[in-house]
């Protein structure tokens, strides 16, 4: 009996072991090691014997205007871009929530930018927005009055639009799924009572899709704040370091200057900043699994 | 509610399709223009205004694979091997965990929470120390290194999806098997696995695409030998004279698997990508 009861408790944990081991070896240990490295002067030459630096990397970081600018840029970008994505995404979902000819095909076509790698989208736009040979730059010339899409004046707007193309499909498909669960009878009853389309949306649809919209919004906000691939391939943080997002700042610290102590200090700071909001999303995501 | 006349309905359809057309152009003009560029000769690429009708050439595709030393065929092979390896490993480690989390709880909730947290935390924060560790272990520029990190990167979504599938299973089946004396492992193999197979296909497709598209770990952990197609495509920029046509051809080739899957397995792909925000 004793052995049986023991096995009964052992098996559930054994099943968890492979995943837990993976998390432990390739996420937890590296992060702890990163924290340790952040307290050292660690360059590619002395990686085997980094020298103790105490909190020097952190004090330097908090006084580095470039890091503050990167965080500020990421925050502004995330708020503006994700707000636009939510508004347009909800509008498209609401628009698609009706019968129309060829709907399956249109949906697929709208979803393409979401399934293609952000790195490829960035590389692609780098060509299409190019000042000299970019066909889209040429098409938009009348609107931009010859201004370069990737030049200092327009580059921020260009990145926002590129991120919108890449990410609105995600908002659209989430909200569209949420809309499917809104009861048609309820909407029709409201219509009979004389509620206008706006009233129906604000007072019936909106409250019902709010839980999914909120998680979608938070997930997008976190991802946009951490944006790397799209910026890295589209502008590499330039012109100058105008569009250097927090992630690009860390990447450059590590791989252009091989300053791994600093890069890890910035990494750890960034992780701490995001832990709170990330835990909120995790709790929400775990609810259906309970 | 109010009955509409035929011309009115027709007008409505036209209006709807016009809006749809504008949306499709906004979201897909880039992909489409890039596709055209891949088939333009160098002179057509730099002609102003851009040519929309031209004589297609295969030069850039030839360059990407054979000429100009890009070794794109090796990048593609790497992408396939890494994608398949990471997908198999991710399913192998998350399926038993998903079963344990649904049926037994306990420690499982902690593992689930940790895995989901991983999905939301900054990937770059993990990538920096990982590079240093793998550099010391001399694992940088190997397919194995990228497979290991992609497995980690794929597991949150795979776990979430598999939990959904396990939850749908009738418990009675397992109880009956347990009475017949089957062990948990036998149950996983002979009962759970066959029933869950369609779900596994969905997870596998999504995982493969995610690995194929992944850039950060793939770029940090590769130098020459282990470069993937997604990373290799960005190399066309770094040369002195940018080979726009070759780049467009590289992008076109790299997006083919994704495009095939979005047309053939859209439902599964979407279900995976929205897992977490949208519950069933």
pLDDT tens-digit readout, A214-259: 999 999 999 999 999 999 999 988 898 899 999 999 999 999 888 9
Q: Is the pLDDT at B1 greater than 50, yes or no?
A: no
- Over residues A176-196, the pLDDT tens digits come to 999 988 888 888 899 899 888
The pLDDT of residue B86 is above 60: yes
Structure confidence by residue, pLDDT tens digits, B5-38: 788 888 988 999 999 999 999 999 999 999 999 9
Cβ of B215 and A229 within 8 Å? Answer: yes
Which residues does chain B have within 8 Å of residue A92's beta carbon, measured at their own beta carbons? 23
Q: Using 50, 70 and 90 to split pLDDT, how confident is the model at B129? A: very high
Q: Please, what is the average pLDDT of chain B?
A: 87
Q: For B168-185, what is the mean pLDDT?
A: 77
The β-bridge partners of A52 are A40
Residue environment code for A74-113, b if the CB has 16+ CB neighbours within 10 A, otherwise e? bbebbeebbebbbebbbebbbebeeeeeeeeebbebbbbb
How many other β-carbons are positioned within 10 Å of the β-carbon of residue A16? 24
- B-contacting residues of A 140-159, CB under 8 Å? none
The ipTM estimated for the assembled molecules is 0.91
The CATH architecture of the domain made up of B70-273 is: Orthogonal Bundle (1.10)
Q: Is A278 on the interface with B (CB under 8 A)?
A: yes
pLDDT single digits (tens) A79-124: 999 999 999 999 999 999 988 888 889 999 999 999 999 999 999 9
CB-based contact A113:A162 (threshold 8 Å): no
**pLDDT tops 70 at residue B237:** no
Residue B197: pLDDT over 90: no
Chain A residues in contact with B280 by the CB 8 A cut-off are: 288
Report the percentage of chain A scoring pLDDT > 90: 65
Query: Which of B49, B108, B233 has the CB atom closest to A138's CB atom?
Result: B49
CB contact under 8 A, A13 and B50: no
Residue B46's pLDDT band, with cuts at 50, 70 and 90, is: confident
Of B23, B120, B248, the CB nearest to A110: B23
Domain positions in chain B: 6-63, 70-273
CA distance A60 to chain B (A): 18
Which of B23, B28, B100 comes nearest A12 by C-beta?
Answer: B100
Cross-chain CB nearest to B116 (options A19, A34, A285): A285
Tell me the pLDDT of chain A averaged across its residues.
91
In chain A, what residues touch B131 (CB-CB under 8 Å)? 254
Rounded CA-CA distance B1/A88 in Å is 27
Instruction: Tokens for A133, please give them.
Output: 């040979």
pLDDT of residue A110: 94
Residues whose CB falls within 8 Å of the CB of residue A231, separated by 6 or more in sequence, listed in order:
A122, A159, A237, A243, A245, A247, A248
> What CATH homologous superfamily does A65-289 map to?
MetI-like (1.10.3720.10)
User: Which 176-195 residues of chain A touch chain B by CB within 8 A?
Assistant: 177-178, 191-192
d(CA B97, CA B165): 13
- Share of residues in chain B with pLDDT > 70 (%): 95
Cross-chain Cβ contact A117/B124 below 8 Å? no
> Quick one: closest CA in A to B104, which residue?
A12
Cβ of residue A94 closer than 8 Å to a chain B Cβ: no
Return the domain boundaries, chain A.
65-289
Q: Is the pLDDT of residue A208 over 60?
A: yes
Per-residue DSSP letters for B161-209? Answer: HHHHHHHHS-HHHHHHHHHTT--HHHHIIIIIHHHHHHHHHHHHHHHHH
Which residues touch A146 (CB under 8 Å, ≥6 apart)?
none
Residue B280 has pLDDT above 50, yes or no: no
Flag whether pLDDT at B176 surpasses 70.
Answer: yes
Q: Which A residues in the span 57-86 are in contact with B, Cβ-Cβ below 8 Å? A: none
Picking from A173, A143, A109, the residue whose alpha carbon sits closest to that of residue B32 is A109
Task: Say how many CB pairs under 8 Å bridge A and B.
Answer: 286
Query: Residue A249 corresponds to which tokens in the numbers above?
Result: 């700042």
Is the CB of B233 less than 8 angstroms away from the CB of A119?
yes
Probe site for chain B from A107, A285, A287, A290 (most B CB atoms < 10 A): A285
| Greatest mean pLDDT range, A15-24, A98-107, A124-133, A137-146 | A15-24
């Amino acid at each position: 009996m004793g052995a049986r009861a023991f096995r009964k408790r052992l098996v559930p944990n054994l099943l968890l072991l492979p995943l837990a081991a993976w998390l432990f070896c390739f996420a937890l240990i590296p992060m702890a090691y990163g924290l340790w490295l952040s307290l050292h002067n660690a360059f590619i030459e002395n990686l085997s014997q980094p020298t103790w630096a105490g909190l020097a990397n952190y004090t330097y970081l908090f006084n580095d205007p470039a890091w503050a600018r990167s965080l500020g840029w990421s925050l502004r970008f995330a708020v503006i871009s994700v707000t636009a994505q939510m508004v347009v995404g909800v509008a498209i979902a609401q628009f698609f929530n009706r019968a129309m000819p060829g709907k399956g095909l249109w949906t697929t076509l709208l979803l393409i930018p979401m399934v293609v790698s952000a790195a490829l989208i960035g590389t692609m736009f780098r060509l299409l927005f190019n000042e000299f040979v970019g066909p889209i730059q040429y098409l938009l010339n009348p609107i931009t009055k010859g201004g370069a899409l990737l030049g200092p004046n327009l580059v921020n707007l260009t990145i926002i639009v590129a991120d919108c193309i890449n990410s609105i499909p995600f908002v659209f498909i989430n909200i569209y799924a949420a809309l499917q669960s809104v009861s048609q009878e309820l909407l029709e009853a409201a219509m009979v009572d004389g509620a206008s389309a706006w009233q129906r949306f604000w007072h019936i649809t909106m409250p019902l899709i709010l839980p999914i919209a909120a998680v979608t919004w938070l997930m997008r906000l976190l991802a946009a704040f951490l944006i790397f691939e799209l910026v890295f391939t589209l502008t590499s943080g330039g012109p100058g370091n105008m569009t250097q997002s927090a992630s690009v700042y860390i990447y450059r610290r590590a791989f252009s200057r091989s300053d791994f102590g600093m890069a890890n200090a910035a990494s750890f700071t960034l992780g701490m900043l995001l832990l709170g909001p990330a835990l909120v999303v995790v709790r929400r995501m775990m609810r259906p699994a309970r | 509610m109010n009955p509409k006349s035929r011309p009115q309905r027709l007008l409505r359809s036209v209006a709807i399709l016009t809006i749809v057309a504008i949306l499709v152009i906004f979201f897909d003009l880039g992909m489409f223009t890039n596709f055209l560029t891949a088939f333009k000769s160098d002179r057509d690429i730099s002609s102003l205004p851009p040519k929309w009708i031209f004589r297609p050439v295969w030069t850039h595709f030839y360059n990407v694979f054979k000429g100009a030393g890009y070794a794109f065929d090796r990048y593609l092979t790497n992408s396939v091997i890494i994608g398949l390896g990471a997908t198999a490993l991710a399913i192998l480690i998350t399926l038993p965990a998903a079963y344990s989390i649904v049926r037994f709880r306990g420690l499982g909730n902690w593992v689930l929470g940790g895995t989901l947290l991983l999905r939301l935390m900054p990937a770059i924060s993990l990538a920096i120390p990982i590079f240093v560790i793998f550099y010391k272990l001399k694992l940088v520029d190997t397919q194995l290194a990228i497979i290991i990190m992609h497995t980690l990167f794929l597991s949150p979504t795979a776990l979430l999806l598999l939990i959904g599938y396990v939850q749908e299973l009738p418990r009675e089946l397992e109880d009956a098997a347990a009475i017949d004396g089957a062990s948990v492992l036998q149950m996983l193999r002979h009962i759970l696995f066959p029933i869950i197979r369609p779900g596994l296909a969905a997870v596998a497709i999504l995982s493969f695409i995610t690995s194929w598209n992944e850039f950060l770990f793939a770029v940090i952990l590769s130098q020459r030998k282990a470069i993937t197609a997604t990373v290799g495509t960005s190399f066309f920029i770094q040369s002195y004279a940018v080979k726009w046509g070759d780049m467009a051809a590289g992008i076109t080739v790299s997006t083919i698997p994704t495009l095939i899957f979005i047309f053939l397995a859209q439902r599964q792909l979407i279900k995976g990508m929205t897992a977490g925000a949208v519950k069933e």
